[in-house]
A = this chain, B = another copy of it.
């Protein structure tokens, strides 16, 4: 199955638009794992197994592995997700962006080495920096559009002939860059009105929405702005820290599972 097919199947099967972000920080690990970089896989595996019934996707953030020389644990983790939770697509959050020959190396890293189903990429270098990923058949590419951080506006809100830059990116993605049909966009939850504008530009393209949970985005406004009806589809609403660090004791995995269930239910409780 292609990335988009598996995402559609996951939305339908788990009835969830929640994506759990895996940002492992050993200093925040509970109990015997605390402070141990060699426990990254074990910690994440327990989180994954406890939250899988309530999610449409997992999104490991590669920086948290690379800072600890834990690339091997990232490989193990993605292999574990595919083996134990088949059908749940894995998005490698790497935000890569480089010229074609280098982008192809990053694509090999994401898709061949890590076996990710999709990767996040940065649009600043233009289409030929995005295309090499799309040439990997069935793989997804999720392009940064409007990000949830305070500095996001420094560039993304610049006025391009009367249109904010992030809307120009949304238009490029929808109208020119999506020949494969496997493209998505990152749009932060801190700006629900902007999610609405992006949704109006891109049709039913999947939107990856960081910024709820620890970053403070409003679930109801976010869902109303970006959901694609019928059903609960069209969005991957990401929560990382609020879920993976929901518990601090021995039962951290249960606590993460409960937090994931609550978040999914809050998302699904939003009426039409």
Measured CB to CB, the residues of A under 8 A from B are 23, 61, 63-64, 66-67, 69, 71, 95-103, 105-106, 108-109, 112-113, 122-130, 144, 147-156, 158-161, 165, 168-169, 172
Contacts and interface: CB of A to CB of B under 8 A. Distances in A.
B106 A129 contact: no
B125 A151 contact: yes
A91 B131 CA distance: 26
Contacts of A106: 63, 66-67
Contact of A63 (B105, B124, B125, B149): B105
Given A123-B155, A128-B150, A160-B158, A63 B165 contact: no
A175 to B, nearest CB: 12
Contact of A149 (B129, B151, B169): B129
Contact of A66 (B113, B155, B159, B169): B113
A10 B95 CA distance: 32
B165 A66 contact: no
A71 to B, nearest CB: 6
A100 B151 CA distance: 9
Contacts of A147: 99, 124-126
A80 to B, nearest CB: 18
A67 B149 contact: no
A119 B151 CA distance: 19
Contact of A122 (B71, B97, B151): B97
A150 B96 CA distance: 17
A105 B122 CA distance: 18
20 contacts: A23-B102, A63-B96, A63-B109, A66-B113, A97-B97, A97-B124, A100-B149, A122-B122, A123-B124, A124-B124, A124-B147, A125-B156, A126-B149, A126-B150, A126-B153, A129-B149, A155-B169, A158-B160, A159-B161, A160-B160
B125 A152 contact: yes
A69 B113 contact: yes
A15 B87 CA distance: 57
A128 B154 CA distance: 9
Given A95-B97, A99-B149, A148-B99, A126 B67 contact: no
A15 B168 CA distance: 44
Given A144-B125, A148-B99, A67 B155 contact: no
A231 B159 CA distance: 40
Nearest to A127: B151
A106 B169 CA distance: 25
A93 B96 CA distance: 12
